[in-house]
Amino acid sequence: MDSLRYGILGPLRLVHVQGQPLKAAKPRQLLATLLLHPNRFVSTDLIADALWESSPPRSATANIRTYVRALRGVLQDAGLPAPIDTSAAGYSIEVGVDELDASLFESLLAEGGHLRDAGDGRQAMQVLSRAYSLWRGRPLDDLPMPAAWEGSIARLEAQHRGLVDNLLDLRLEHGDASGAAVLLSARLTDDPYDEQLWRRLVDALVAAGRVGEARAAYQKAVQTLADELDIKPGPELEAAGARAENGRSANWPNPGIPADRTAERPGPAAQPGPMAAPELTDPVRPPSQLPLDLADFSGRQGHLEQLRDLVCGRDPVRPPIAVISGAPGTGKTSLAVRLGHLVREYFPDGQIYLDMHGATQPRDPAAALTDLLLSLNLPDFAIPTDPERRSAMLRSELASRRVLIILDDVAAAGQVTPLMPGTGASAVVVTSRNRLMDLAGADSMPLDTFDDREAAVLLSSVAGSGRIDASSPEAEEILTACANLPLAIRIVGSRLAQRPDLSARELARRLRDETSRLDELSIGELAVRTSADLSYDALSPEEARLYRLIGHFAVGVFSARALEAVASPAAVRRSLDRLIEVNLVRISSVDHRGTARYRVHDLLRLHALGVGDDEQKAQAVRDVETVVEAILNKIRRANEALSFEYFGVLEHTGPLTAPDPSPFTEADAIAWLDSERSTFVPAIRAAAQNGLHDHAWRIAAAWGPYLDLRAGFDDWNGSHQQGLLSAIECGDRHGEAIMHRNLGQLAVYQDDWDTARRHFDAAAEVFAEVGDRLGEGVAAVGLGTWLRERGQRDEGLAQYEKAIEAFVEDGNANAEALARTAAANVYLVRGDLDTARRLLAQAFLIAVRRADAHREAKVRRRIAALRVNQGRHDEAVRQLRKALAIFDGMGDDHCAAYTRALLGQALMERGEVAAARKTLLDAIDVGHRLGDRSVEGQAAQHLGELYLSTGSLDNARRTLERAARVWQQAGNDAAATTCRRLLAGSETGVAAG
């Protein structure tokens, strides 16, 4: 390591240079910024952010050039020729791997990991020990910490944490007891309440022959636990103490302690100008077969323009072919016909319309070829009998003409492939309920329903002047019932036009009933049901069964995986592909993983509910039960894989009825819950609508841990409101209590205090009625928090103590830890720091003993609050960063936001203005996004105080006004008053100045 020239793993160092010649602050920060990105150009903007945060002077670029010159001079004078390159991309410092400690550190980490993976653990230990020796403390801790550095430094710190864990494992594995003791001692500096760390340290010291030190370590552990927690050591630590007393080593080498649990969480064609139709030399008139254009056609303007550009484009190689596809009733034929009339002048050799009867009795392609050739005025005797020769003749005829062909209601690509032109200026427009993805050379134009504006215009147009106000509540209700389907809108508009005795209000009332809605959507030969029947009748039995299931199940978006309980994945996807192809189901969205979500049009869902005989309808309900049962069991399996314990009451605590042969890992469980999130609320509603109320409330309850982790407030409310109704409907009092408690907790998060109290009171009453001690305790914590936040701290503390008693009786240590943490909050506000410290130490020990990193992180956050009150801000920052790493690793944005708010305060107290500002802004942003006014208000208040301390009075006023407003919305009048007092003080300061 003699070649090292620069050090950033600790204070900035220029190795082997006496007197540290680089003393000016800005050049030091510039050098540090470049060394954080060695051998890479760093932009001037990033350098400016590092040197001046978000307020660089107007001369920043010129100043940076000056600092670069100064830095070059200092380095050369010190005998460190460090070429700093300049380019349009910025500045770069060129250093070898062995010249910068961070580069060497990362190189050794990679080498050690490779050796360990290859099975050479002893050599890996030596290499990683070299890496460990490079670490001198927090990177660049002698310099102000701008936000521009945070990502790079966080990466280095994460690598160091991983290094310590891996090296500890290797030293324990290979009998390096003294080396392990060094690492364990460092760990205990941060985690003095972790009995397992103490036990390991004692055993490591005994194994190293340092028995006296082992005995001293044991005594220190006993004293720490007694002084801080008022408890005696557990049996494992006691046994280690006995071994130290006897001078007898534990079984060495042995596996190391688990790695830090923070790491476990791991061109369209140009539009042609006007064209004059060429003179017709053929005395026979060209065909003009377009059906009558609808006088009240409306909407689809964008589609018309795209189609016009496509069919009128002059591609010398490929004739344009457009496929208009969509569900029954979306107006495919109307659009094609309107297009035909718009572009007639571009096709002077004729416009041919052919109904292919795809939804009823598909027309034979050979017969269709004859019809097309006859339409082109060929005599019937000249038409070949062989279909292939007919197709060739059609291509020859079209090659020298400009003809528009509309092929309406096509069943499949094979039905029209022989009808396609091969070259020339003719164009083909195809309409189909199927997507016809296999029609070669075709451009697809799928149709969806109308948007709200288009729907309102069509309704007014068809109904006639004065029949309905498109902006009225009745019109909105009618269009909602029609789900903006053009056919349905045309039907209701026609009924209003033809029935002056039928008011819009009465029609809206009739359409409210889902069981008769499709009957109302019928007039003359127009009927939504009849149109959908044509598509349904073309399905195979397997496809029809899935369609009926979707009708009963899909009250919102759903995934293919949700349906796999009723058939094999291949069978489900095969049938679903067919339903998509015929436009009975559509893709709603595709997430970043490539997983599709599907949706069925509301009117098609009603159609699916009504098709089939009685047995088929009953089978559909049984299929829904199978699906929701599978969803419930999979959520239970996912919950089992979560490493943190949920504070709440689960709906199911027994063994799984059908354990999966390949259980979830935690990462897989959370990924599955993330991917299926949009399915669960619709599944709960579907269960309720099909009378499966027990499944409905249980899915809502089982989903609780994930909702709490992800702060999914909208889904939480949607699932639990229906869950509560379903629990009441099926008479399950325990389920009712769980729903009340969870809804109360949600209301607390959203500062809806009246609602929270109502639900907590109901939960407490019912939990007591059914004899659920855990539930009583959980409800008591909720009531305690309600009372504490409403200023009734003594009453809140009594509820927490009641909860602790219930949890101890129930034997639930995780809940006990939370209740002790909550009680500590009250003592903290009272100023009784000793009692708060004791309760938090007890809670921390419980979390560590149970290996619950999530609970550990929450306790660390409260310990940090204690340290802030004690003025021990360095310790607070250390605890908060550990907690934040856990929350971020688990994707818990909600808890992370509270942690950032407190971290910003602690950083502000330490004078790290830039880092504090960025941290507080992040907390404000997350709190606002989640709708949690408490964390938003807390972070905004701290930020306002920060601006005041730096003399940024305009920013202080804006931020404190926001904080006061948010606190007021949260119902926290005391905090709002504090912010207004700070505002008044800032105004007084300005006036005095």
Same domain for 382 and 503: no
- Compute the distance between CA of residue 717 and CA of residue 6 in angstroms, rounded to an integer: 55
Mean pLDDT of 557-572: 87
pLDDT of residue 800: 93
pLDDT in tens, 35-72: 998 888 888 888 888 888 767 888 888 889 888 888 88
Mean pLDDT of 151-170: 84
At 160, is the pLDDT very low, low, confident or very high (cuts 50, 70, 90)?
Answer: confident
User: Does pLDDT of 990 surpass 50?
Assistant: no
pLDDT of residue 623: 93
What percent of the chain stands above pLDDT 70? 92
Same domain for 157 and 26: yes
Write the CA distances from 478 to 450, 472, 556, 874, integer angstroms: 14, 10, 20, 63
SS3 call for 59: coil
- Compute the distance between CA of residue 843 and CA of residue 622 in angstroms, rounded to an integer: 47
- Residue 472 resides in a domain: yes
User: Does pLDDT of 420 surpass 90?
Assistant: yes
In terms of Cβ atoms closer than 10 Å to its own Cβ (0-12, 13-18, 19+), residue 175 is: middle
At 249, is the pLDDT very low, low, confident or very high (cuts 50, 70, 90)?
Answer: low
Mean pLDDT of 128-148: 86
Same domain for 169 and 311: no
Domain containing residue 88: CATH number: 1.10.10.10
User: Does pLDDT of 274 surpass 70?
Assistant: no
pLDDT of residue 657: 63
What percent of the chain stands above pLDDT 90? 27
Mean pLDDT of 715-719: 92
Mean pLDDT of 868-884: 90
Same domain for 418 and 342: yes
Same domain for 152 and 16: yes
User: Does pLDDT of 773 surpass 90?
Assistant: yes
Closest CA to 868 of 859, 860, 876, 880: 876
At 806, is the pLDDT very low, low, confident or very high (cuts 50, 70, 90)?
Answer: very high
pLDDT of residue 277: 35
At 603, is the pLDDT very low, low, confident or very high (cuts 50, 70, 90)?
Answer: confident
User: Does pLDDT of 724 surpass 90?
Assistant: yes
User: Does pLDDT of 381 surpass 80?
Assistant: no
**Cα angle, residue 78 at apex, residues 75 and 79 outer, rounded to 5°:** 90
Structural domains of the chain, count? 6
Q: Taking the alpha carbons of 563, 567, 573, 574 in that order, is the dihedral positive or negative?
A: negative
pLDDT in tens, 391-400: 988 988 888 8
- Residue 42 resides in a domain: yes
Of the listed ranges 83-97, 608-622, 806-820, 955-969, the least confidently predicted one is: 83-97
User: Does pLDDT of 254 surpass 50?
Assistant: no
pLDDT in tens, 162-195: 888 888 888 888 888 888 888 888 878 777 888 8
Mean pLDDT of 598-617: 87
pLDDT of residue 696: 95
pLDDT of residue 618: 92
Domain containing residue 934: CATH number: 1.25.40.10
pLDDT in tens, 915-935: 899 999 989 988 888 888 889
- Residue 242 resides in a domain: no
- Residue 224 resides in a domain: no
Same domain for 759 and 711: yes
- Residue 273 resides in a domain: no
Domain span at residue 961 reads: 852-991
Mean pLDDT of 776-795: 92
Domain containing residue 366: CATH number: 3.40.50.300
User: Does pLDDT of 346 surpass 60?
Assistant: yes
Same domain for 353 and 479: no
User: Does pLDDT of 265 surpass 50?
Assistant: no
Same domain for 17 and 155: yes
* 216-255 per-residue burial string, b: 16 or more CB within 10 A, e: under 16: ebbeebbebbeebbeeebeeebeebbebbeeeebbebeee
pLDDT of residue 772: 94
At 5, is the pLDDT very low, low, confident or very high (cuts 50, 70, 90)?
Answer: confident
Same domain for 334 and 436: yes
Looking at 388, 417, 446, which one is the last position of a domain? 446
Residues 789, 970 contacting (CB under 8 angstroms): no
Give the residue with greater pLDDT, 169 vs 258.
169
pLDDT of residue 54: 64
pLDDT of residue 721: 95
- Residue 9 resides in a domain: yes
Same domain for 135 and 32: yes
User: Does pLDDT of 1 surpass 60?
Assistant: no
pLDDT of residue 448: 87
Closest CA to 166 of 136, 202, 126: 126
User: Does pLDDT of 267 surpass 50?
Assistant: no
Mean pLDDT of 560-568: 87
> Using omega within 30 degrees of 0 as the cis cutoff, is the peptide bond preceding 446 cis?
no
At 226, is the pLDDT very low, low, confident or very high (cuts 50, 70, 90)?
Answer: confident
Mean pLDDT of 700-717: 90
At 733, is the pLDDT very low, low, confident or very high (cuts 50, 70, 90)?
Answer: very high
User: Does pLDDT of 380 surpass 90?
Assistant: no
Looking at 123, 152, 174, which one is the last position of a domain? 174
Looking at 145, 174, 203, which one is the last position of a domain? 174
H or E stretch at 527: strand 526-527
Secondary structure letter of residue 608 according to DSSP: H
In terms of Cβ atoms closer than 10 Å to its own Cβ (0-12, 13-18, 19+), residue 943 is: buried
Could you write out the DSSP letters of every residue in 804-840?
Answer: HHHHHHHT-HHHHHHHHHHHHHHHHHHT-HHHHHHHH
At 665, is the pLDDT very low, low, confident or very high (cuts 50, 70, 90)?
Answer: confident
Write the CA distances from 253 to 53, 239, 848, integer angstroms: 50, 18, 24
User: Does pLDDT of 719 surpass 70?
Assistant: yes
- Residue 221 resides in a domain: no
Mean pLDDT of 822-839: 90
Give the residue with greater pLDDT, 486 vs 696.
696
- Compute the distance between CA of residue 733 and CA of residue 257 in angstroms, rounded to an integer: 44
- Residue 972 resides in a domain: yes
Average pLDDT taken over every residue of the chain:
85
pLDDT of residue 940: 93
Amino acid at 160: H
Same domain for 131 and 66: yes
Mean pLDDT of 221-244: 85
Mean pLDDT of 958-971: 89
User: Does pLDDT of 789 surpass 90?
Assistant: no
pLDDT of residue 907: 92
- Compute the distance between CA of residue 861 and CA of residue 399 in angstroms, rounded to an integer: 77
Same domain for 967 and 858: yes
H or E stretch at 721: helix 713-729
